[in-house]
C-alpha cells in the first residue's frame, strides 16, 4: 500500500511540474482549482479549472 501511494504521489508531482513548465503559473492554478473542485465535489470550482485548462490548451503556439 505505501508503495502505491508513493508512486501516485510521484506521478501527481511530475504531472504538476509538466503543467507548470508548459502552461506556467496559470496552468498550475487551473489544475489546483480542478483537483480541489473534484475532491470537494464542487462543480463550480471544477468547472472553472477545466475551462481555464481548456483555454490554455487552445492557445496558438503552445504545441
Confirm whether 62 is domain-assigned.
no
What single-letter DSSP state applies at residue 17? H
Reading the block at residue 25, the C-alpha cell is: 503559473
CB 27 within 8 A of CB 17: no
Q: Which residues, other chains included, contact 25 with Cβ-Cβ below 8 Å and sequence gap of 6+? A: none
* Domain span at 23: 2-57
Per-residue pLDDT tens over the stretch 16-27: 888 778 888 888
Domain count, the chain: 1
Per-residue pLDDT tens over the stretch 27-63: 889 988 988 999 999 999 999 999 998 998 887 765 5
Confirm whether 63 is domain-assigned.
no
- CA dihedral of residues 35, 50, 45, 7 (deg, nearest 10): 0
Confirm whether 25 is domain-assigned.
yes
Confirm whether 30 is domain-assigned.
yes
pTM of the full predicted structure?
0.70
**Whole-number CA gyration radius for the chain:** 13
Amino acid at each position: 500500500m505505501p508503495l502505491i501511494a508513493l508512486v501516485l504521489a510521484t506521478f501527481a508531482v511530475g504531472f504538476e511540474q509538466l503543467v507548470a513548465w508548459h502552461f506556467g503559473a496559470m496552468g498550475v492554478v487551473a489544475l489546483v482549482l480542478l483537483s480541489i473542485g473534484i475532491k470537494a465535489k464542487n462543480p463550480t470550482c471544477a468547472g472553472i479549472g477545466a475551462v481555464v485548462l481548456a483555454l490554455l490548451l487552445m492557445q496558438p503556439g503552445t504545441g
